Amino acid sequence: MIDLSALVALRAVDTHGSVVAAADALGFTPSAVSQQVKRLERQVGVPLLERVGRGVMLTHAGRHLVDEGSRLLADMESLESRLHEQATTVAGRLRLTAFSTAMRGLIAPVAGELRTAHPELTLTLSEREPWDTVDLVATGHSEIGVVHSWGDVPLSIPDHLVTTELHRDIADVIAHRDHPLAQLAKVTPHDLVAEDWIATPEGTICRQWLNRMYAGTGHLPRIAHVSMEFDSHLALVRAGLGIALIPRLGRAALGEDLVAVRVVDPVPTREILAVHRRTMAASPAVTAVLSALVDQNSAEASD
């Protein structure tokens, strides 16, 4: 009989392109993943992986097994969720993946409360970019993802995932208190065409939105410095090296040196969403986590 845990390991290798990356996603050692795949090969009697350069890829038999086996794994997941639903048990291990500001501003405040309220539930948290998070949830390597979608920069979400709106977040221009912008109540992109920006790397959702914000100005934002973390953006703005567009969720205290200026026409708004697989819709554990995240946002909105 096919070992389902070994099938999960093979699917992870397919998703992430290497045994090492699959081990990282699953929380195992590379040796353990290799042993699981070899055990699966012995069970089915055919090679499932072949080496390509420094990575590996599935053989034709491996591809067939992952494609057909994924449906089996989805059925098993749905069955387990319904069993937990009947027992009303908030238990088990849930992997929750989110972007950094959601981890700080939304998830961290409720993680401890969930552990106290549901001692049989284990949450495993990891930070990833939204595109990666959607892929991890879609392929069964994370149970819940928290992602953001900016205005007219849509985030593609597969049909077999369910979304729950958690929060609508707004970003402000952050400037040093000595900067002329700091004296304004609000700005438009036309006011910002000559400014030096501290921005996230090219290809990130936040960078794409910053570029879109300049539509109609005849310019692109002038990127002076690139950094992945918003906390680093604040430090660079504090040093007088430029301005930054930083969301309010999870934003560190600005202190005396920095000023947040509202942006209009358009207002930089992002939708914060939770995603999970439809096969886990009946899971009391998933329901408990989603409810806690929604309640956390409601509490903040009422403050």
Q: Report the pLDDT value the prediction gives residue 169, as an integer from 0 to 100.
A: 94
Considering only residues 1 and 281, tell me which one the structure prediction assigns the higher pLDDT.
281
> Which amino acid, one-letter code, is at 126?
S
108 — pLDDT class (breaks 50, 70, 90): very high
In the chain, residues under CATH classification 3.40.190.290 are: 92-303
CATH 3.40.190.290 fits 92-303, yes or no: yes
CATH 1.10.10.10 fits 4-83, yes or no: yes
Considering only residues 225 and 129, tell me which one the structure prediction assigns the higher pLDDT.
225
Considering only residues 16 and 165, tell me which one the structure prediction assigns the higher pLDDT.
165
Q: What are phi and psi of 42, to 5 degrees?
A: -65, -35
| Residue range 234-240: mean pLDDT, rounded | 97
Q: Cα dihedral angle (159, 161, 167, 172), rounded to 10 degrees? A: -70
pLDDT tens track for 37-88: 898 888 888 888 888 777 788 888 888 888 888 787 777 777 766 666 665 7
In the chain, residues under CATH classification 1.10.10.10 are: 4-83
Is 122 exposed, middle or buried, given 0-12, 13-18 or 19+ CB atoms closer than 10 A?
middle
Considering only residues 279 and 275, tell me which one the structure prediction assigns the higher pLDDT.
275
Average pLDDT of the residues of the chain: 89
Q: What is the pTM of this model?
A: 0.75
pLDDT tens track for 77-94: 777 666 666 657 788 889
Q: Report the pLDDT value the prediction gives residue 92, as an integer from 0 to 100.
A: 84
